[in-house]
Amino acid sequence: MSDKKFLSRRQFLERAALLGAAAVGAGSLLTACDPPEPQVDEPDEPAEPTADTDDFSCNDEAALADLNEDEIGRREAHEYTDQTTTEGQTCDNCLHWEDPAAGEQCGGCAVLPGPFHPDGWCNLWAPAA
């Protein structure tokens, strides 16, 4: 009795083809198991700056409802704005500033009529003593 220890050429080629197919299949499986790409959240767009600070206005239609045209004209003539663009000069550090009444956000002014924003400004600004 003799054992065949060698493969025939045909058997060798069949087994080689099977091993090759198995290697390709394993590669596909490994690829399918790759962890997903981490998702990077894009930062939110910065909020657009608004003309008024602190979400309230002392210069809109509602705030000026009690003023007449002449009084509104005086505010405009002195370039009043709710948001200063002049570094270091705001209504609340102005000589003419009057603190808001209890429960109010807008203050007053000794030289112009109407409500004024603490961060506001006009061309009559003068440093507080």
Task: State the residues that interact with ligand SF4 by CB under 6 A.
Answer: 80, 91, 94, 96-97, 109, 111-112, 116, 120-122, 124-125
Least spacing, CB of residue 96 vs ligand SF4, in Å:
4
Least separation in angstroms between CB 80 and ligand SF4: 5
CA atoms within 13 A on the CB side of 52: 12
Please identify, using beta-carbon distances, which residue of 14 and 98 lies nearer to ligand SF4: 98
Q: What is the DSSP letter of 109?
A: E
Contact (CB, 8 A) for 53 and 83: yes
DSSP string covering 73-104, please? HHHHHTT-BSS--STT--GGGBTTEEPPPTT-
Q: Which is nearer to ligand SF4, 63 or 91 (CB)?
A: 91
Closer to ligand SF4 by CB, 63 or 121: give it: 121
